[in-house]
Copies of this chain bind each other. A is one copy, B any other.
Amino acid sequence: MRDVAIVGAGMVRFGKHNDTSFVDLAAKSSLRALEDARMSERDVDALYMASLFAGELNHQVATASALADSLALLPAAANRVENGPASGGSAIREAYMAVASGVHDTVLVTGCDKMRHVSGALITDYVATMAHPIAEYPHGVTLPSLAAMLARLYMHKYGMERKHLAMVAVKNQKNGVQNPYAHIQQEVTMDGILYAPEAEMNNPLVSDPLRLYDCCPISDGSASVVICAAEKAKEFTDTPVILAGIGQGTDTLAVHEREDPTILNSVRVASKQAFERAKLTPKDISFAELHDAFSILEIVESEDAGFFEKGKGFKALEEGITQKDGKFPINPSGGLKARGHPVGATGVAQAAEITWQLQGEAGGKQINGAETAYCCNFGGFGNNVTALVMKRKN
């Protein structure tokens, strides 16, 4: 198996892109990543498109073929990979195997979704179809409600308080101010979303105990990375980033079937695979990008990925360890909370953010001296998760 590297990354700012079609949006980040890799369309052997809702929300299927045509990659192989909100991580994993196997040398991965032109209710419903089709969905279970139940259970079990959830939002929105690609580039304060008399109005209830600022925004957006055989990486960039390890794990669809729902076993399985393949441990990692679609997820993932003991993630947060200038920064990009969550794009955006960090090109969000990084991309309600470990050099 060959080593695999990322040699280019590109993104469009997440937010509203009403005037850009789905394929044009995907093409924009793709062209930026190819330019970053000093790569022409002739150099691309294959394309992976990550999208959850191309057909459902944009009335276009087989979008990988459309993007390959739009970018003039023909006759390169082109496929769409869908794994719920972890589609981006899964597409990177497919690209990794395509290169590792020797079938392809250079692969473009683009994650894209456009969600702002339809109602939030429609999206919440479609997202909820990832819940169990008999045991959950027909009873009105939505993803925000599953996250809320996880938060309640975790609070009960480990003594976390409401303020810790708010700290995730405050930290990540602060980080997002430095991210030119973030949908939301605005700080919030503990006072403004939790303590002030008007806080309850500012930060209305979504699903108790989760409030508006515990939830990521719904966004349009696209992100791309160019993946190639590590042995050829120097043809395309002076600063390749090694995709050292990658993993994927599934868990029960119905959350109540898990022995302890505060444990995200899929995160554990995926992370263990990624670390083992990378021959690294959580202690070796400089920073992490986690899938904070809901504030509680950042805390629980930080434990199950192996960075903190079970039940201690919120304490690390409280102690400032996960701040951008802390001992172990989490979501220096602002995470999904600030960057936004165009579902299929998120996993690719995480890899793009890490690429820039490890290249020393992250600008105002740069973590000084970052040598290694981890990210996880959370599908369904934790029933299908991917994890990546990346490092500066081999």
Contacts and interface: CB of A to CB of B under 8 A. Distances in A.
Interface stretch (A80-88, A309-317, A332-340, A357-365): A80-88
B84 A81 contact: no
A172 interface: no
B97 A101 contact: yes
Interface in A109-129: 126-127, 129
A216 to B, nearest CB: 18
A66 interface: yes
Given A75-B265, A94-B79, A84 B65 contact: yes
Interface stretch (A56-64, A148-156, A220-228, A286-294): A56-64
Contact of A61 (B23, B76, B77, B82): B82
A56 B66 contact: no
Contact of A250 (B69, B93, B101, B249): B69
Nearest to A98: B97
A383 B100 CA distance: 26
A27 interface: no
A166 interface: no
Interface string A251-279: 11110000000000110010000000000
A5 to B, nearest CB: 15
Contact of A73 (B59, B103, B250, B254): B250
9 contacts: A60-B133, A62-B83, A65-B383, A74-B250, A77-B93, A77-B248, A78-B250, A79-B83, A97-B101
